[in-house]
């Protein structure tokens, strides 16, 4: 088991209200796509609202009712890539221009989190901001330029030697 998992966030501005006719087909597909993610190989967690349904009720900037957020955690970049581009999710993704305004800036970010960590909306938005400001790097990156997970912390040599010496004196 690895010490890190991959977090992802994507935001999008919808073309109209969630309960409007422009978004009816998108909203109708949400339960199926969320269930597909929940059962995908390598899936760990996804952000949901207070009712535990999906994240469409969350407002990543606090006020804009047309800005949606999706955030999830995966075992690896490959697991997320497979779900995104090699599953039934691709059919929905290919229709995104029907439901979302094209964004000029980065709207998705990937980053590594300690296993078991669940990102907050604020943390996810910070990663998008970091990517917009600095481009791809180990703290926020894209599918095009993925960064490897951090290496597990290795104890300093002096701590290891000290532990070995302590074990030898007590035996």
Q: Residue 100 — very low, low, confident or very high, per pLDDT cuts 50/70/90?
A: very high
pLDDT at 166: 63
Average pLDDT over residues 21-29: 97
State the Cα–Cα distance between residues 24 and 69, nearest whole angstrom: 18
pTM of the model: 0.87
Mean pLDDT for 39-60 is 94
Q: Which residue has the tokens 């709207």?
A: 107
- Please report, for the chain, the start and end positions of each structural domain, with discontinuous segments joined by +: 4-170
- Which residue shows structure tokens 């309960």? 19
Rounded-to-integer distance, Cα 65 and Cα 88, Å: 27
pLDDT at 156 over 80: no
Report which of residues 135 and 161 the model is more confident about. 135
pLDDT over 60 at 30, yes or no: yes
- Is residue 163 pLDDT above 70, yes or no? no
- The mean pLDDT of 61-68, rounded to a whole number, is 90
CATH classification of 4-170 is 3.30.70.100, yes or no?
yes
DSSP E strand stretches across 3-56: 4-14, 43-46
**Which are the contacts of 144, defined by CB distance < 8 A and separation ≥ 6?**
136
């Amino acid at each position: 088991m690895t010490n890190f998992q991959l977090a992802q966030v994507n935001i999008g501005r919808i073309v109209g209200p969630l309960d409007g006719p422009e978004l009816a087909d998108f909203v109708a597909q949400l339960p199926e796509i969320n269930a597909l993610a929940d059962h995908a190989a390598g899936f760990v967690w996804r952000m949901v609202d207070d009712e535990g349904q999906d994240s469409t009720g969350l407002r990543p900037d606090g006020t804009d009712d047309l800005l949606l957020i999706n955030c999830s955690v995966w075992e690896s970049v490959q697991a997320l890539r497979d779900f995104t581009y090699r599953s039934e999710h691709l059919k929905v993704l290919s229709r995104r221009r029907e439901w979302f305004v094209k964004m000029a800036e980065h709207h998705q970010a990937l980053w590594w989190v300690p296993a078991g960590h669940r990102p907050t909306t604020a943390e996810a938005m910070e990663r998008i901001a970091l990517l917009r400001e600095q481009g791809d790097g180990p703290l926020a990156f894209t599918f095009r330029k993925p960064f490897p997970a951090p290496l597990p912390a290795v104890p300093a040599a002096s701590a290891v030697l000290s532990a070995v010496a302590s074990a030898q004196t007590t035996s």
